[in-house]
Amino acid sequence: MTSSKNDMKYYLIKNDLESKVVGKKYPQLECNNLVYAHAIPSHGPCKMQFRLSFDLIKGAKLTDVLSTLGISACGFIISERLKNILECYKLEQFELIPVEVIGTKQIYNYYYLHFYGLDMVHCLDYQQSIFRITKFGFEDLGTKKFDSYESYQEYIKEYDNNYSLMTPLEYVVLKEDFKDFDFFSFPQFYHEMFVSERLKQCLEDNHITGFFFEEKYQMVKISELLKL
């Protein structure tokens, strides 16, 4: 697959918070079997087979993407309709875990789209990318670059004794051999997720509800950076 500069435009993708879209309640779902939700690992596929169960909270609307605080891993709860659309696009390593959403009059079939992205750590140009270091998610410790994934691991091992550090990517430079995924994340660093321009356009054209796109994210491929 060839990539033009336009193809390499990416967006942060998040759960929509607008009440006119998702209803008056956030999150929209309450988990009925947290023991399973907590069993989904942040890094790597789930080794158990189960079906997640959620109640649609009174006052929340049913959308293609549903919000929950019950899962700490990286992903989204998606409808069958959205699942069918994503089958036509290129996603990083993922798995689909069946979900039942219990409404007042009906049970709906959804899926948890779980990104575990073990290979994504090899897609970054670490010397060009910039990490924002925070403690407990709110104390800003500034930005930092690393020479490699190994140097990142050494830093975390030395300074994160109480597991309080978060390291979201503030500026991303992708290696030349990045596979041009349309939907991906870097779960080893943070749970932010990204979509390509072409997938964003498709989701909007199909009126997929429950997503919000943030355009300010800075992400380039190393070949494009060299042209600037």
Assign 133 a pLDDT band (cuts: 50, 70, 90).
very high
Of all residues in the chain, what percent carry a pLDDT higher than 90? Answer: 70
pLDDT number for residue 228: 41
For the cut 90, the answer to whether the pLDDT of residue 86 exceeds it is yes
Question: Is residue 136 scored above 90 in pLDDT?
Answer: no
pLDDT-derived band at 4 (thresholds 50, 70, 90) equals very low
- Say if residue 119's pLDDT is above 60: yes
Q: What is the mean pLDDT of residues 105-109?
A: 96
The answer, yes or no, to whether residue 226 has pLDDT greater than 60, is: no
Give the CA dihedral 151, 153, 158, 159, nearest 10 degrees.
100
Q: What is the pLDDT of residue 180?
A: 87
Residues in the chain: 228
Place 217 in a pLDDT band, splitting at 50, 70 and 90.
low
Q: Give the pLDDT of residue 218.
A: 64
Confidence of residue 227 (pLDDT cuts 50, 70, 90): very low
pLDDT of res. 1? 26
